[in-house]
Chains A and B, each alone.
Chain A
Amino acid sequence: MRWFLVAIIAYVLVLLKNVFAPGGLAVMVDGHPAQPDLLLALGLFLAIYFPPREVFVAGWFLGLVSDLVSVAGRLGLKALLFCLVLYLVSHLRGNLPRQRALVQFAAALLTVFVVHMAWHLATAVVGGAWPPVLGSAEAALLDALYTAFLAPYLVWILLLMRSPLGISAAMAGRE
């Protein structure tokens, strides 16, 4: 993995995060502004193309950046969740047809839902409140859907940079 390039991409995605802020391109559903988690989508891309240990480290730093740019929640929570979930995805990916948009969609949907749900519940528990399970699930699902719709496009853009990122043609499924 080319760490410097990944850091630059992460920085650009953090800047893009504001584009999807409420009032911008966030989709209001039932009072909840659904926003895509682009940093997690980047982490997922790394998880399906790079070895688990590198993914773990990258996931940790992406989570920390996500923690730092958000205004709420405990610092370090997303770092922990990102690295653990992405490490797991990287281990379980097996022989998935990762170049298929549907697979990317499903993987993004599941990963973002799990991470966001865990984050909502953990934040509520740490804050001393009874976790609002249904509300959290709805918010997590909306964010996951939005991310999943954008994930194939993000993967396509990132695959255009496969050689600078250090992904071989075989890895990218373009033999």
Chain B
Amino acid sequence: MAKNYQKKILKNFSLIFFVLIGVFFRLFNLGLYPRLYNQEALVGWRAESILLTSKDELGRFLPLIFSSMSGYKFPFQTYFTAPFIRIFGLNEFAIRFPIALVGIASIFCFYQLLKHYFDNIGSIYSNITAFIFIIPFLFISGFYFKNRKWIITGLILILFSLPLYLNYFRSPGILLDLQVNKFSLLSDVTLSNSINTLREEKTILADLIWSEKSFIIKPSFL
């Protein structure tokens, strides 16, 4: 039994090593540097408001879309932060911890994805690539996975779903099954949520199609 564990640990040594490095760089000085950005502070305080009163800053009961100085925001970020505010209290660390956690999970996901691609070439690629992936984040620990850019949650959901889909497509008879079910995989929650999370970023295309100045569609209520 113990030997089995030893074998498993040895087999996944590089993954464990990379995850440990990732954990260190993502959690080191998490709440201290860089200083909290305005939008992060708003997310933290709003999450506490949701926890204590079930209302957002405008007094709306558990809204599915939030307002901010720069437009509407999707709710994932706030609701995902709320449990950590409950655990750690309202502080900088609690606000950034969930996204750091997502960052740590991304190492695992990316590694699995690489293994899938490079299995037939050699696992050295997976190791090098994971190493390169982790090293830059030593210097950019202040962004992407540490705070602020919640676009990363969309990325992580896609990263989670990709290896699963790659395995899924290897199953025999899957194409026929997809045809019968009218490509129902597009209704997958991880994918649709990731797309929704990404949509939080305002797009020029959306502005062109749907806005006051749009020449394609002019909503009547604008």
- Chain B binds chain A: no
